Structure 1
Amino acid sequence: MATPTLNDEKTLQRGRPIKNRLSKSAMSEQLGNARHDPDERLARLYRAWADGGIGLSMTGNVMIDRNALGEPKNVVLDEQSDLDAFRNWAEQGQANATQVWMQLNHPGKQIPRFLNSQPVAPSAVPLGGGLEKMFATPRALEGDEIQAIIGQFARSAHLAKETGFSGVQIHGAHGYLVSQFLSPRHNQRDDEWGGSPENRRRFVLAVHEAIREVVGPDFPVGIKLNSADFMKDGFSEEESMDVVRALTEAGIDLIEISGGTYEAPAMTGFKAKKENAREAYFLDYADAVRRHTDVPLMVTGGFRSATAMQQALDSGATDFIGLARPMAVDPELPRTLLSNPQAKLAIKRPSTGFKGLDKALMLDITYYESHLARHADGKKPRPGLSPWITVASTFSAMGANAFKPRRG
């Protein structure tokens, strides 16, 4: 059987066909308004990606609880939201036959102290590696609170469907709440929600089941899942495989593979496995996952050239190529990749030349947010954007909060 090309469409178990194999992975856009609704700038950004030729866009994480924000300008979808604003976002993002799935998230303990001094988590275990200075020790969730959060995931999924999004994705990676439940390092409960691998994955399965119940049998539901946490006593590849098997049996529609947490950010390349000429960080894991599931897979992290993307499809390790930072720099990149098999995008690590300033302003994150803000304002891509533009815009937008850590 011939292997697919980047231009080939893909039909999942549910939903309409996705027109090509390129997907914009979720990024932190920081474009929610004062009410945590999506405004016209966010809609304009997704229209730029749709016009650029992407097949599937995953939104930046939309929070299910406005009292549990991971970052100051997160978008929240609940009963207080302006649903017309969400309808406009979905409509603009689905131009040019693009699909837009909403990524749903609860940060758990990964809430900066200046946003919440008493976050919740499966267990009262603080973040390590120095992050305990920036993120408060969480309070362990009670059983009824866990059930309430499961209900919040379902409510937000229902509203995402109601407002016109093409599907939803559960954020089960990068150390957020779902990921915390899966990790033996962070989940030290001894009730039905912890104590064994089976119990630790009970939460994500309950979230998926609750979402499926409210969105019906024909609406696609996916997940972003860690291949591993890359930490001692953390979520392992073996446990991740077991979660993949359980979600496959439950009927998940798409699995996006990533890895790492705030404490060990493999999703940015830190400690991620990268072998031979493969650009992507998690392809070896994806190869292994193929033995355990026939659910379509998406691999995100590290891809920079059309050649490596096509090789990944040829290998059978993945069905979709996930792109994040390259899409932040150039929304029109998909059109280039689909028309030129030799296309590539070189991205250098941004730096002002002052390591302390780079770290204080989290330039590895805020630099790409500056690109997103340009596209949201209708400006043309500028791959060589000076990091000092980011410094100026960060101070202008956040003032003293610029030095308050939002993410690990």
Structure 2
Amino acid sequence: MTFLSDPLPLRHGRALPNRLVLAPMTNQQSHPDGTLSEDELAWLIARADGGFGLLQTAAAYVHPAGQVWPGQLGISSDAHLPGLERLAVAIAAAGGRSSVQLHHGGVRAEKNLSGQDVVGPWDDAQTGVRAMTTTEVQQAVEDFAAAAARAEQAGIDGIEVHGGHGYLVGQFLDASNNLRDDGYGSDPVGRSRFVKEVVAAIRERTGPDFHVGLRLSVERYGLVLEDMVALVGELMASGTIDILDLSLWDVDKLPAHALEGSRTLLEHFVDVPRHGTVLGVAGQITSAEDVQQVLDRGADLAYIGKAAIADHAFAHQAMTDPSYRAPSFPVTREHLRAEKLSEQFITYFASNWPQLVDG
């Protein structure tokens, strides 16, 4: 039986001290130039002090044209290195492992933030999005690899490629919209080529003591569940990723339109041969019991999102008290401030989920 506090060795890099991961969450706390702010540092250090074994940053853009939000963390330039170096040192001092989530918004990027053309796998005349040339697709692979090398240079323990939630990596996997005919679309092999090249390039550009993770959505955003199961199997067998993070919205969720009694989304993936890759899951995990249940069902890691907003010490609490449950939402703004959320983060959180903030 696997327990919350059990260490977890990885194929590359340092072992994780426990099975609890701070999920990557948009928070808009960084400086306008993408450098790490004191607010962002305080948010992450509080969760490292609170016992999380692996700390994921918010999505960090690998190229300025991929920026989606104001206050988004960047990792596209050596100017971003000093803040990342401070982050690596602080998380290590707290006993945790650090990871930067690498991101490009693709067709969802905001031109008014970067001043650059919005590009993605396909054209969209209504929004002014331009389809990337094949050369630009290959340059985007290099942008992800260069960002990962930059994270390693800063002393970060690893990265996670953001392949979920309909951003650039996920857009290439979109069976409804990615109809490219240059080998990067149109069929499952073409649609999966970009993500495979990204993780392979990162593995090639980084050393054996640096772990490579990947977040995937497995439905919505034009994704075909059967294709995603096949892709997960191929990635796990390839040896290019050390951690696969499945963003499931709810770890008990059935596939869209599935009949009652069907296998859950999680059950489609836990039996895929892992070949040394570890499997993490995210989605409505709010108690020690929830974490233990996903471990008992075959996951190796539990990614904690909103519960880590409500309690920076969720990990410590859950490892020491099997009956622990995170504070229930809604919570007050004062509560969020005490949990080291900045005013920018609180404003973002309250505007997107007003039902979760009292006042």
The TM-score range, normalised by the shorter chain, is 0.7 to 0.9
Q: Counterpart of 1:288 in structure 2: which amino acid? A: H
Q: Counterpart of 1:285 in structure 2: which amino acid? A: L
**Contact 2:102/2:159 (<8 A) preserved:** yes
Post-superposition offset of 1:67? 2.7
Match for residue 326 of structure 1 among 303, 307, 321: 307
Within 2, Cα distance between the matches of 1:181 and 1:372? 38
TM norm structure 1: 0.76
Q: Counterpart of 2:154 in structure 1: which amino acid? A: T
Q: Which protein is richer in strand relative to its size?
A: 2
**Contact 1:45/1:372 (<8 A) preserved:** no
Match for residue 98 of structure 1 among 96, 99, 105: 96
- Percent sequence identity over matched residues? 28
Q: 1:319 to 1:374 in 2, by over 3 A?
A: closer
**Contact 1:32/1:39 (<8 A) preserved:** yes
Q: Which moved more, 1:80-89 or 1:330-339?
A: 80-89
Residues 75-86 of structure 1 aligned to structure 2 (within 5 Å): 75-86=73-84
Partner of 1:300: 282
Partner of 2:154: 163
Q: 1:82 to 1:190 in 2, by over 3 A?
A: closer
What secondary structure sits across from 1:61 in the alignment?
strand
What secondary structure sits across from 1:222 in the alignment?
strand
Q: 1:341 to 1:302 in 2, by over 3 A?
A: same
TM norm structure 2: 0.86
Post-superposition offset of 1:347? 3.2
> What root-mean-square deviation, in Å, do the aligned CA atoms of Structure 1 and Structure 2 show?
2.8
Partner of 2:295: 313
Match for residue 150 of structure 1 among 124, 135, 141: 141
**Contact 1:7/1:338 (<8 A) preserved:** yes
What secondary structure sits across from 1:67 in the alignment?
helix
Q: Counterpart of 2:264 in structure 1: which amino acid? A: D
Q: 1:345 to 1:13 in 2, by over 3 A?
A: same
Within 2, Cα distance between the matches of 1:372 and 1:245? 42
Q: Which runs of 5+ in 1 are unaligned?
A: 127-131, 260-266, 275-282, 352-366, 378-388, 396-401, 404-408
Q: Does 1:39 align with 2:30?
A: no
Q: Counterpart of 2:271 in structure 1: which amino acid? A: R
Q: Does 1:246 align with 2:246?
A: no
Q: Deviations over 1:278-325 (max 9, x none)?
A: xxxxx9323222332222111101011211221221222x11111011
Q: Counterpart of 2:307 in structure 1: which amino acid? A: P
Q: Counterpart of 2:43 in structure 1: which amino acid? A: L
Q: Which runs of 5+ in 2 are unaligned?
A: 256-262, 353-359
Q: 1:165 to 1:228 in 2, by over 3 A?
A: same
**Contact 1:57/1:101 (<8 A) preserved:** yes
Partner of 2:27: 29
Post-superposition offset of 1:255? 0.5
Q: 1:107 to 1:210 in 2, by over 3 A?
A: same
Partner of 1:67: 65
What secondary structure sits across from 1:201 in the alignment?
helix
Within 2, Cα distance between the matches of 1:79 and 1:161? 13
Match for residue 247 of structure 2 among 220, 237, 258: 258
Within 1, Cα distance between the matches of 2:337 and 2:236? 34
Within 2, Cα distance between the matches of 1:239 and 1:350? 39
Partner of 1:288: 268
Q: 1:78 to 1:308 in 2, by over 3 A?
A: closer
